[in-house]
Structures are given as structure tokens and as C-alpha cells.
Amino acid sequence: MSLSPALRSPRPGRPVSPAGSPTISPVVVLNVGGEFYTTSVSTLRKFPGSKLADMFSSSAKTCTDAEGRFFIDRPGAYFGPILDFLRSGQLPTRHIQEVYREAQFYDIKPMIKLLEDTPQIFGEQVSRKQFVLRVPGYSENLELMVRLARAEAVAARRSGVLVCAVRTEEDAVHCAEALRTLEADKTSVVKFGPWKAAPDITDLLDCVKMDIEAKGYQISYERYSEKPFRAKVAGFFYIFLFTWW
């Protein structure tokens, strides 16, 4: 025998008020990307204006899973540090980059600001990323390098991409003849620079390696020493090696 609507138990986390309208229990169970957390609504509302506070406001439309738990479609592994900060102001000591992205998603401004003061985020967001933004066509060149490497990867364990890095206009003039020679030989070269920032060519090459590795590729680089480039443009041409297996 089925229960009448008035006698059925409400779904977890979504009790029904005497007037029949949905309310939010003071204690809720969250399903965050398949990870489960129990916390209080007051904790989630700690910072008014954040996305979490908005999600659990009285007028918000929330999503639930099959068991009636509040569902948030984000990586669950990094929600624990978010809750730790909301509860006690504690910052994470691991996976700081990932937690920083989640803090940005939930728009928890005090946490974002404190994380941006940590060496990991400061170095990446304020120092390194500001540098690569001053290198013209940096992101486009990374994509070009990957395309060239993949095109040469058929039946090969490794493929190489030739890079020319010139920090100043004077360097660019110095390398112009070598670039023309390579172009005449139908050799593809990805050219970085010139740029207006303090970091030198080695710093640029390290950034390229880091950002391509972040895409999941195994990569290394070394100075290009083929003739006739050994003497003329030593220090400007490098070969990036992609290892496929």
C-alpha cells in the first residue's frame, strides 16, 4: 500500500515546511562530483555574495541527486579544503593550484586573496603568467608546436620542433638570415619574441616546456647545433623533442 503524499518522507536535505513549501535543513549532505560532505547551511553561507552562499539562499533553485542530496558538478576531491576554509579559515598545504581554481569558481573572495599571496600562486599568476603574456603570440606558438610535433610523429618514437627565441629586436635581426635559410629549405621554425620583460631566453624555453607538459606531453629541449647555425646563431635556436612512447 502506498503512502499518501502527506505521509511520505521528504527527500534528504529538502524537508517540507508546515505550509508545504520546500525549506533547507540546517545540516545538509552534499554530493560534489561523487564525493559526499556533511556540513551546515550557515557554513556554506559564511561569505555572502559567494556562489556557495547564493546556492543555499532561501530563493535558490538547487540540483539534487537520485538520493535527494544537493549536487554540485565540480571536482569533489578539492571541496574538502574549501570547507576547511569556510569552517576555520585554514588554507590548504597541498594541491594549491587546484583548490585556487575551485575557490575562484565558488567566488570565495577572502580565500582567493589569501591563496594569491602564497608563493605557489603568486609565482604562477603574478610572475610567470605576466611574463608569457608579454611574449607576442605565445599561446598560438604553443599550439603550433604541438601540431608540428604530431604531424611528424607517424611511426616514430620522437619528433622534433625547431624553435627560434629572440629576446630583443637586435637578436631578431641577427637571426634573420638563418630564418630565411631554413624557410628556403622548407624547414618549419616556431619563432618566439622579441619581448619586453626581464626574463631571458632560457626562462622563455622553460615556460614553453612547462606549459606543453601541462597539456600532457613528454618534452625536452636542447640547443640546435646543426651547420651552419653553430657559430652564427648559437643560443637562439633550440630543438624541442616530443617523446611519444
pLDDT of residue 63: 86
- Reading the block at residue 179, the C-alpha cell is 630564418
Whether the predicted pLDDT of 7 surpasses 50: no
Whole-structure pTM value: 0.69
Range of the domain at 177: 138-243
Mean pLDDT, rounded, for 119-148 = 93
Whether the predicted pLDDT of 16 surpasses 70: no
The predicted-structure confidence for 86-124, as pLDDT tens digits, reads as follows: 999 999 999 999 999 999 999 999 999 999 999 989 988
Residue 127: inside a domain: no
Residue 189: inside a domain: yes
Whether the predicted pLDDT of 225 surpasses 60: yes
User: DSSP string covering 66-111, please?
Assistant: TTS-EEE-S-GGGHHHHHHHHHH-PPPSSSHHHHHHHHHHHT-HHH
Give just the sign of the alpha carbon dihedral 204, 208, 214, 217: negative
- Reading the block at residue 236, the C-alpha cell is 637562439
Domain boundary (67, 87, 117) is at 117
Residue 17: inside a domain: no
**Where is pLDDT greater, at 8 or 223?**
223
Number of domains in the chain: 2
pLDDT of residue 227: 67
Residue 19: inside a domain: no
pLDDT of residue 234: 76
User: DSSP string covering 201-224, please?
Assistant: HHHHHHHHHHHHHTTT-EEEEEE-
Q: Are residues 45 and 110 in the same domain?
A: yes
Contact present, 242 and 173 (Cβ < 8 Å): no
Residue 235: inside a domain: yes
Assign 11 a pLDDT band (cuts: 50, 70, 90): very low
Contact present, 164 and 236 (Cβ < 8 Å): yes
CATH number for the domain including 103? 3.30.710.10
Amino acid (one-letter) located at 222: E
Q: Are residues 234 and 142 in the same domain?
A: yes
The predicted-structure confidence for 37-70, as pLDDT tens digits, reads as follows: 999 999 999 999 999 999 888 766 778 899 989 9
Domain boundary (85, 117, 149) is at 117
Average pLDDT, the chain: 87
**Segment 137-142 long-range contacts (CB within 8 Å, at least 24 positions apart):** 137/192, 138/192, 141/190, 141/191, 141/192, 141/208, 142/208, 142/211, 142/212, 142/215
Residue 196: inside a domain: yes
The percentage of residues in the chain with a pLDDT greater than 70, rounded to a whole number, is 87
Q: Are residues 142 and 96 in the same domain?
A: no
The predicted-structure confidence for 160-207, as pLDDT tens digits, reads as follows: 999 999 999 999 998 998 899 888 989 999 999 999 999 999 999 999
Assign 235 a pLDDT band (cuts: 50, 70, 90): confident
pLDDT of residue 10: 40
Q: Are residues 155 and 238 in the same domain?
A: yes
Amino acid (one-letter) located at 198: A
